[in-house]
Structure 1
């Protein structure tokens, strides 16, 4: 169980948000509905989707390393 207030929990939550938003950016119907606003909370999700789309290789590497850390090392 990951504690949401630990540093690990924040990193895991951030990675999940970036990966989920990047996936939603690839689905045409969700992209128009979900990622059209660029202000407030929806703007943060839009920026997370841009990060996930443009930096997909580093995000995938960090997700893999975090999965190894959570499953094996911790």
Structure 2
């Protein structure tokens, strides 16, 4: 189990957050409710969704590498 206060825990949390926001952007009701604000605290969700959709290949490769690290080295 990863610890949030370690570097690998922060990276895993960030990757999961970006992937979740990118997925929520594809759901129409959640997109209009959660990702409509582009500034402020709610803007973090929008920005993470944009990162997840524009850099989807890099995010996917990073998720695979993190999964490999957690399963075999942690």
TM-score band, normalised by shorter chain = over 0.9
In the other structure, the counterpart of 2:56 is: 56
In the other structure, the counterpart of 2:67 is: 67
Between the aligned partners of 2:36 and 2:14, the Cα distance in structure 1 is 21
**Segments of 4+ in structure 1 off by > 3 A?**
none
Between the aligned partners of 2:73 and 2:62, the Cα distance in structure 1 is 15
Deviations 1:7-62 (A, max 9, x none): 01110010010000000001111111110011222101100000000110110000
Between the aligned partners of 1:12 and 1:41, the Cα distance in structure 2 is 21
In the other structure, the counterpart of 2:21 is: 21
What TM-score does the superposition give when structure 1 sets the normalisation length? Answer: 0.95
In the other structure, the counterpart of 1:4 is: 4
Give the structure with the higher percent helix. Answer: 1
Report the count of equivalent residues: 74
